[in-house]
Amino acid sequence: MSARPTDTIAAIATAPGRGGIGVVRVSGQGAAAVARGMLGRLPEARHATFAKFVAADGALIDHGIALWFEAPASYTGEHVLELHGHGGTAVLQAVLARCFELGARPARPGEFTERAFLNDRIDLAQAEAVADLIEATTTSAARSAMRSLDGEFSRHVHALEDALVNLRMFVEATLDFPEEDVEFLEQAGARNKLAEVMSALTALRERARCGAVLREGLTVVLAGAPNVGKSSLLNALAGEDRAIVTDIAGTTRDTLRELIAIDGVPVHVIDTAGLRETDDPVEQAGIARTRRELERAHAVVHLVDARSGFDAEAQAIDAALPAGLPRIRVFNKIDLSGEQAREDEHAGVLTVWLSVRVGEGLDLLRRALLDRVAWHGGAEDALAARTRHLHALDRAVEHLDMAARCIAGKVLQLDLFAEELRLAHRALGEITGEFTPDDLLGEIFSRFCIGK
């Protein structure tokens, strides 16, 4: 773990640009000196105090509200001064420059939250939830991040760790008396306890997976031949004209991305160039980008003209889509083919009949998009999670699976059982930061905004 910092940092904590209010935040041992030098006094702790912010020569820089927090009862666990003044860029920079004159240094991105973690005010999962809350693009994502920031994710992880510690305690004791291993494990209920931990871990992983989807969003590529309605579908899902729509084949030359929300889930819908053989170098470049987007997508919507059906051209495009990529086949323009909006599934491919022009069947497609990526409506109890959290949970599940095999047969492998429990415990500890290396901490906090 990194050494506790001792210097004083300062930064503008509000978003860049003009605003009614701007905040400069100072944290560290020298925060009191900054307060006295700028305000002429140390404000009463945890009370909003109206004050003048003055320069070294006594000139007035700004006036506003000063908030003083004594360590350790602050966000960072250190002395913290917050200066709430007017939100103009120039005046905030002047206040910040005065803080530097009084001994503070510029804060690195995420350094305030990093200090909160290093001073045990929050754990690593909560620290990451701070950034997730700021970056949330939907209400469901914000609520998920708030649950993790409030410590719900960490409490579940700690509960699993406690259960593993209890189980490891019995196993370690059994290793000292190998002649009584079977009886000892039966009395301790080791198999049942392991099954309970596994069940709780699986449930937590599902909530974390839902939270990761809410945080990162799903990426869905619209693919198909030219003029089947991909751009029109993007516009319909977005609720506005974002893509140019014409009857001329090859109009879309580049990828166009639009963020929409379906049942609170962020979905990045990508309109792409129509897939076909062409001698146009610009269109060829667009088609190449289409194929790159397909490689990164969570799902693909393959649009087909309902009038021509799943013909040779559509079959060729379908065969060229990446193997294993969840797909939805959409027959568009049913208003011209005379069919009804509906959905069915054949040979593992979900098919939706709709008309983008009249808006019929679009709700069927929205539901199908979530079904294809195994979204089960878990937004209400999802926990904000990142890829590293999911990897840690996956490793913990793998180690517990191995642990179960070690005691499944008549011949018990207690030493291996104990080791797998230890590795599962360590994987869980990576989530909250108990076993996180310093280089990973640097990577995590460097992605935060300055002032947070």
Residue 244, SS3 per DSSP? coil
**Per-residue pLDDT, 255:** 66
> How far, in Å, CA of 128 to CA of 359, rounded?
40
Burial class (CB in 10 A: 0-12, 13-18, 19+), 11: buried
What is the pTM for the complete model shown? 0.76
- 299-317 residues labelled b (16+ CB within 10 A) or e (exposed): bbbbbbbbeeeeeebbeeb
For residue 306, what pLDDT is reported? 93
What confidence score (pLDDT) does residue 46 get?
96
Amino acid at 349: V
pLDDT value, residue 180: 56
State the pLDDT at residue 167: 87
DSSP three-state, residue 133: helix
The number of angstroms, rounded, from the C-alpha of 314 to the middle of its chain's C-alpha atoms is 35
Q: What is the pLDDT of residue 120?
A: 92
Residue type, 56: A
pLDDT recorded at residue 436: 61
Q: Do the beta carbons of residue 266 and residue 141 sit within 8 Å?
A: yes
The SS3 assignment for 368 reads helix
Q: Tell me, what's the pLDDT at 272? A: 79
Q: How many Å is the Cα radius of gyration of the chain?
A: 28
Question: Residue 76 gets which letter from DSSP?
Answer: S
pLDDT < 70: residue spans in the chain: 1-4, 173-188, 240-255, 273-287, 373-379, 410-411, 435-441, 443-444, 447
Please give the pLDDT value at position 143.
92
Q: 176 vs 84, 171, 414, CA distance in Å?
A: 62, 9, 11
Q: Domains of the chain, with CATH numbers?
A: 9-123 (3.30.1360.120), 136-432 (3.40.50.300)
CA dist 328 and 332 (Å) reads 12
Instruction: Say how far apart CA 311 and CA 332 lie, in whole Å.
Output: 14
Residue type, 337: S
